[in-house]
Amino acid sequence: MSLTSSQRDRKLKQTDSPPKLYAQPKYWAECFGTAPYLPMSREEMDALGWDSCDIIIVTADAYVDHPSFGMAVVGRVLEAQGYRVGIISQPNWSGAEAFKALGQPNLFFGVTAGNMDSLINRFTADLRKRSDDAYTPGGVAGKRPDRSVIVYSQRCREAYYDTPIVIGGIEASLRRIAQYDYWSDAVRRSVLIDSNADILLFGNSERALVELAHRVAGGESIADLWQLRGTAIVKKELPANWTEIDSTRIDWPAKIDQIPNPYDFHNKPAQQRQDTGTEVKEPALSAVRIIPLPL
């Protein structure tokens, strides 16, 4: 779908202020009501009377229906908008079968590494494997792959090739642009490219996710949502009226400000007198009594 200049300007004006979270009418599936738990299997979907899920969230954390687990919050926010939301938690990433457990979603897959970056979750700073995982039942380690967003997105693409994939969470947010990767000691490109996802949502993206869900449900393509606040998307060519900045020429050589010496406190009163023209009283000296603590 191509936009005329007037349509483009109108859409730009609409993004000047963030949309209200519950401003849009609910999706038709609200008639199913609130689920006691978001389903994780076909049996649980059948018990709710669902023939399919509108949105399926794939997460590397356990699913606990509590606000401390981010995907539980995101799932409930989407459910409050009228969508049927399913959860695939810590799937077996060796194949695509585990990603077909709930069938094909009507709108899109939502993929996240969970509450922590998967590499920080699995390794210490000196690259030793951690022996436990706070977001896995029983604290069992090894239930998530390295770079979970990339692995899960590729498996979702393998399971249902034509289904849009939306990535988000802290791992996607921190890696949305080219970044230095401590674990491989190299600069890696955006996780959006490596995961082959359609769009990336960064930061506190509940508003962006709700708007994206309503617009995709309304028949819009994710490729047309490149003006959505708090999102990143890959485009083959530069949009009209946009300017590309050469990142290698942003910082030009110039005068470097002298770094203040934190230990140069002897000259501070004299410098303050010169700067302000007022007399600064020296702090009064007082004896310090050192009282040794008992063992």
What is 5-232's CATH number? 3.40.50.280
Evaluate if residue 113 carries a pLDDT over 60: yes
Q: How far apart are CA 178 and CA 221, in angstroms?
A: 26
Higher per-residue pLDDT: 81 or 5: 81
Does residue 283 surpass a pLDDT of 70? no
pLDDT of residue 20: 80
> pLDDT tens-digit profile of 37-67?
999 999 999 999 999 999 999 999 999 999 8
Beta carbons within 10 angstroms of residue 29's beta carbon: 19
Tens of pLDDT, residue by residue over 223-281, are: 999 889 899 999 888 888 887 777 666 666 677 778 777 777 655 555 555 555 555 56
**Half-sphere exposure at residue 241, Cβ-oriented, CA atoms within 13 angstroms:** 6
* pLDDT value of residue 10: 47
Specify whether the CB–CB gap between 84 and 29 falls below 8 A.
yes
Structure confidence at residue 255 (pLDDT): 77
Query: 155-195, pLDDT tens digit by residue?
Result: 999 999 999 999 999 999 999 998 999 988 999 999 999 99
State what percent of residues in the chain have pLDDT above 70. Answer: 81
The whole-angstrom separation of Cα 199 and Cα 223 is: 8
Q: Return the number of other C-beta atoms located less than 10 Å from residue 149's C-beta.
A: 30
Q: Would strands 108-112 and 55-59 be described as parallel, antiparallel, or unpaired?
A: parallel
Instruction: Map out the domains of the chain as residue ranges.
Output: 5-232
What does the alpha-carbon distance between residue 168 and residue 111 come to, in Å, rounded to a whole number?
6
CB-based contacts of 95: which residues, under 8 Å, 6+ apart? Answer: 155
Distance CA(257)–CA(202), nearest Å, equals: 34
Dist CA 177 CA 191 (whole Å): 7
